[in-house]
Amino acid sequence: MTILNLTDNTYDKLVSEQDAVLVEFWAEWCTLCKQMKPILEEIDLAYAGKVTVAMVDAATETKVTEQMGVMSLPALFIYKKGELVGKVTGFVPKETLTGAINQLIP
């Protein structure tokens, strides 16, 4: 599996079509975002076929960033069947994310 890069035009379609989605809003200058990347890569690998992991560059995809009310980075959004079920701002350990994801999938 590969982490998807979402744009203003692809965000809504992806989160509405997948059963479980984890989206990170990030920026190149964001140190905590860089620390989250290996965690997201591990989650993407561990949950391949069960959870779609995606990223949105908040610096370039301003429409969806504003639409989602992102005020600080990293910002993580968790969706189940198109519905927003969780939101975390700032760095979080892998265990926190996997705990939230495990509640979404059978």
**Contact between residue 57 and residue 29 where contact means Cβ atoms under 8 Å apart:** no
pTM of the model: 0.94
20-59 pLDDT, tens digit per residue, is: 999 999 999 999 999 999 999 999 999 999 999 999 999 9
Q: Could you confirm whether 30 is annotated as catalytic? A: yes
Q: Rounded CA gap, 11 and 16, in Å?
A: 9
Q: Could you confirm whether 33 is annotated as catalytic? A: yes
Q: Rounded CA gap, 98 and 103, in Å?
A: 9
Q: Which of 6, 20, 22, 33 is catalytic?
A: 33
48-78 pLDDT, tens digit per residue, is: 999 999 999 999 999 999 999 999 999 999 9
Q: Which of 30, 32, 46, 88 is catalytic?
A: 30
